[in-house]
Every structure is written in C-alpha cells, then in structure tokens.
Amino acid sequence: MVNIKKWETFLISAISLLLTGCDSGNIDDEDILIQNSGKTVKVTATIRGIGQLSDTYTVAVAAFSDDKKYATTQRAIPENTADGQHISVTLDNLSSEISTVELALTNKLRKRILTLASIDLNDFESGGDTIRMDLGSLSVDMFG
C-alpha cells in the first residue's frame, strides 16, 4: 500500500514535469524605428486671437489628402496661447498621400472649417530637407 502511494506520487510528479512548458523565446516586442519615411513640414507664425474662438473650433496645423475634408493628422495650437505668441509646429513622416499642410480651423472631428494658410506638398520632392512655412503675423479671432 505504501509502495502504491509512493508510485502514484511519483507518477503525478513526473506527468506534471512533462506537461510543464518552458519557453526561452524573446517575449519583448521588437521596436521598429522608421526614420525619414516621408516629408516634414515646420510651420512658424505669430498668432493672435486664439482665446477668442468658440470651444467648438481648434486652430491646428493639419495635413490633408486630395479632396478630403478631414485631416489625416493634425497638431492643435493650445487655446491658452498668449496673444502675439510665436509658435512653431512640426509635422513629420507625412506620407505621399498627403497633398496639403494647412493652418486651419477644425472641429472636434478634425473636419476643415476654414483654411487660414496652405502649402501644396506636391511642389516638393519627397524626403530630404524640412519644408518651412513661415506665416508671419496672423489674427484668427475674426473667424470664430
């Protein structure tokens, strides 16, 4: 009887060891770094009147594809930007599908309401240097 109990314990332990899996593979995700895969646009301006706009609108540097009303990507200019403050916003890795970069008034869904300034990216070669868009001084309060 004692022998059978030891044999059962040994058998259960052996089966447990055999069924236990061991994975020595790498479980970390590999980081994929994509550099210079598209165009880069840097927009600079001195903006006045952002604080006077309705909360339903955002002043943003936005990238649009051909004939699209909605921005593919955008970076909003903060609502608390002081009047006359100089801003600098960069959009990078813009794909070849992007046709224009605009300083635009957009809504919460990133739909273009009004274009304040625009640059056509089809006029520039892909990759390479940063495309600079200097807008000088701009007032947006009359649009809100």
CATH number of the domain where residue 49 is located: 2.60.40
Task: List all residues 6 or more positions away from 108 whose beta carbon is below 8 Å from its beta carbon.
Answer: 56, 58
DSSP 107: -
pLDDT digits (tens, 9 = 90+) for 58-93: 999 999 998 889 999 999 998 888 888 999 999 988
pTM over 0.95: no
**Number of Cβ within a 10 Å radius of residue 67:** 6
| Domain around 83 | 39-143
Instruction: For residue 21, count CB atoms less than 10 angstroms from its CB and return exposed for 0-12, middle for 13-18, buried for 19 or more.
Output: exposed
pLDDT of the residue at 130:
87
Instruction: Report the first-to-last Cα separation within the chain, whole angstroms.
Output: 91
Higher local confidence (pLDDT), 47 or 5: 47
Report the number of distinct structural domains present in the chain.
1
Question: How much is the average pLDDT of 19-34?
Answer: 64
Residue 21 falls inside a structural domain: no
Pairing of strands 58-65, 73-76: antiparallel
Question: How would residue 144 be classed by pLDDT, with cut points 50, 70 and 90?
Answer: very low
- Residue 18 clears pLDDT 70, i.e. is over it: yes
CA distances from residue 72 to 5, 69, 101 in whole angstroms, order as listed: 70, 9, 10
Residue 77 falls inside a structural domain: yes
Q: Which amino acid is located at 89 in the chain?
A: V
- Residue 134 clears pLDDT 60, i.e. is over it: yes
Q: Which amino acid is located at 45 in the chain?
A: A
Residue 109 falls inside a structural domain: yes
